[in-house]
Amino acid sequence: MGMTLTEKILAKKAGKKEVQPGEIVTVEPTWVMSHDNSAAILLKFKKTGVKKVWNPKKIVIILDHTVPAPTADYANNHKSIREFVKEQGIENFWDINTGICHQVMAEKGYDLPGAVIVGADSHTTTPGAFGAFAAGIGRSEVAAIWATGKIWLRVPESYEIIVNGKLPKGVFAKDLALHIVGDVTASGAVYKAVEFKGETIKDMTIASRMVLTNMSAEMGAKNGIIEADEKTEAYLKTRARAPYEIMHPDEDAEYERRYEYDASDLVPKIAFPHTVDNVYDIDKAEGIEVNQVFLGTCTNGRVEDLEIAARILKGKKVNKNVRMLVFPASWDVWREADEKGILRTLAEAGAVIMNPGCGPCLGAHAGVLADGEKCLSTANRNFKGRMGNPNAEIYLGSPATAAATALKGYIADPREVL
């Protein structure tokens, strides 16, 4: 019996000829990633009694969640992380002037085909866009890897998600992701490997593919994955930090479930409060007034996302009743968007350009909502209290929908302004 892409990667890493779903394998990850939560992880590591981390070259720490530090507690956390990094000789440390961890992992060449990447963040599924097995794990697990270099994993069953057809005007990867999450549901793929394939996926940019694997977590998936191809190799040509191996699923691989979609049938989508799978066509949301528009995050803060928003807002003004916050996903994105005039266009339209980072996504930094306020966000989650206030409401949409909404003052169809 053939193996899926996820099974092949885990078998290779475990030193086995083949693995089966449900089997337990022990592997040494290619990279283990953490962010501001490293302050809590290092305390757990110290409790193990181990003095030195197993391999300072394999540990990646990226400060992004609350940058720059908004409180003394966060500042002290950052200080303890910097001291630990120095003490342990950890080479792959990225401070507050780099970007969101999942974007930085891609830009700095950690996201490699065939790699096993684990991280103390649920959206560590993102590197699957490069043909890697990538999954979120707990803080205690990260501490254990720092100490031993090993983690055991249950080989997940695989779902096959096949998408063909051309995305219509005004419809983007985010709309497709929301459509799939709405269909599969938030608990429909718990601990499954979700393998995306089809002509629509092949035609996508790397940035758009990252949207799909990033949001695999919103189905409950253990990991999301896309076969690496020539676009992957072109992206990694000057970035890859280590040799890599492109793997492919066997033709006779067995999948537990298959979903098929025709992209040409899609329309812009909106996830209503307070769950990501509460998804409707945009016509059900049109006219809902918002107070804030949030463009950015590890889901939709890349150059192509800012660019489509700038195209819609060029020469126009953000509605006077709306605050539009723009958080580029990294400083590399910020610089490229600046060079292309994108940030200037957004600023002239009335958007507030913020420093790269997670910002208000988790409700711990700039852009927290007030009681009764509504926000249209390009993030990946809209749980109650997600942006810092349980008395606010969050709607999720694409960057184009965000820009159209900022322009109108209410949730608007981007096809009308493109």
pLDDT at 259: 98
pLDDT at 388: 75
- Both tokens of residue 148? 């031993």
Annotated binding site for [4Fe-4S] cluster: 298, 358, 361
pLDDT at 313: 98
The β-bridge partners of 262 are: 164
Residue whose entry in the numeric block shows the structure tokens 């969050």: 394
Q: 57-114 pLDDT, tens per residue?
A: 999 999 999 999 999 999 999 999 999 999 999 999 999 999 999 999 999 999 999 9
- Both tokens of residue 31? 């990279």
Q: What is the pTM of this model?
A: 0.95
pLDDT at 359: 85
In whole angstroms, how far apart are CA 191 and each of 13, 135, 249, 366, 416?
Answer: 19, 10, 19, 33, 39
In whole angstroms, how far apart are CA 111 and each of 302, 349, 384?
Answer: 16, 35, 32
pLDDT at 113: 98
Q: How far is CA 400 from the centre of its chain?
A: 18
- Identify the helix (H) or strand (E) that includes residue 332: helix 331-339
Question: What is the rounded CA–CA span in Å between residue 68 and residue 346?
Answer: 23
Annotated binding site: 298, 358, 361
Question: What is the rounded CA–CA span in Å between residue 254 and residue 263?
Answer: 24
pLDDT at 366: 86
Say which residues have a Cβ less than 8 Å from residue 227's Cβ, sequence separation at least 6.
5, 131, 197, 246, 247, 248, 249
Map out the domains of the chain with their CATH numbers: 5-16+23-157+187-242 (3.30.499.10), 271-416 (3.30.499.10)
Is-contact 37 120, C-beta < 8 A? yes
Q: 142-169 pLDDT, tens per residue?
A: 999 999 999 999 999 999 999 999 999 9
What are the residue ranges in the chain where pLDDT is below 50?
A: none
pLDDT at 358: 84
